[in-house]
Amino acid sequence: MTVPEYDDDNVHPDSAHPGAGRGPDHTPRPTAMVLAGLSAGFGIIGVSIGFATVLGVTATASGGFDTSGFGPMIISAVSSLVLGLLLIVGAVLLWRAHRASLVVISSAVTLLALSSAARMVLDSLTFVSVVGTVFSLLALVAMGYLITSDDVREHIREGVPLRLR
């Protein structure tokens, strides 16, 4: 006698809900996916901007031009590279449901918030700087909300990596 297969469309009448009794729940975690996507996306943007800035300063220096006034730009580019890499690593760890992912992403978000606050104080006030700072802070608030969400914490607690369907 063969045992019938039960899936979401063909539910055993004795089960309380679809998928009951089939082992760990593999339902998609949209909140965890959004946080992983934001972390990876902002990380890629940060690494790209940092790399392009370092490349531009290097090209300027190799062309024989004076780069003595580019110190703050180089510091900003290197910090952008490091924070971008930190966000990418956090996104990969979150995707794999590793416990350290929230610490890595939270530290990157905190450092980015400090960077945005420093930029507000130190940069000259232009339309682009104000819009950039407002959008940065909105994105950081959204990421902070997602970090503290129950869905993300449950994803980490279960330890089941995310899957695309």
Number of domains in the chain: 1
Q: Give the number of other CB atoms < 10 A from CB of residue 29.
A: 23
Structural domain contains residue 54: yes
Distance CA 118, CA 139 (A): 17
pLDDT one-digit tens code per residue, 26-51: 566 899 999 999 999 999 999 999 99
pLDDT one-digit tens code per residue, 84-123: 999 999 999 999 999 999 999 999 999 988 888 887 787 7
Structural domain contains residue 36: yes
The pLDDT value recorded for residue 62 is 82
pLDDT one-digit tens code per residue, 116-151: 888 778 777 788 778 888 888 899 999 999 999 999
Structural domain contains residue 121: yes
Structural domain contains residue 25: no
pLDDT at 21 over 50: no
pLDDT at 157 over 60: yes
Structural domain contains residue 9: no
Q: Give the number of other CB atoms < 10 A from CB of residue 19.
A: 16
Q: Give the structural domain span for 96.
A: 30-154
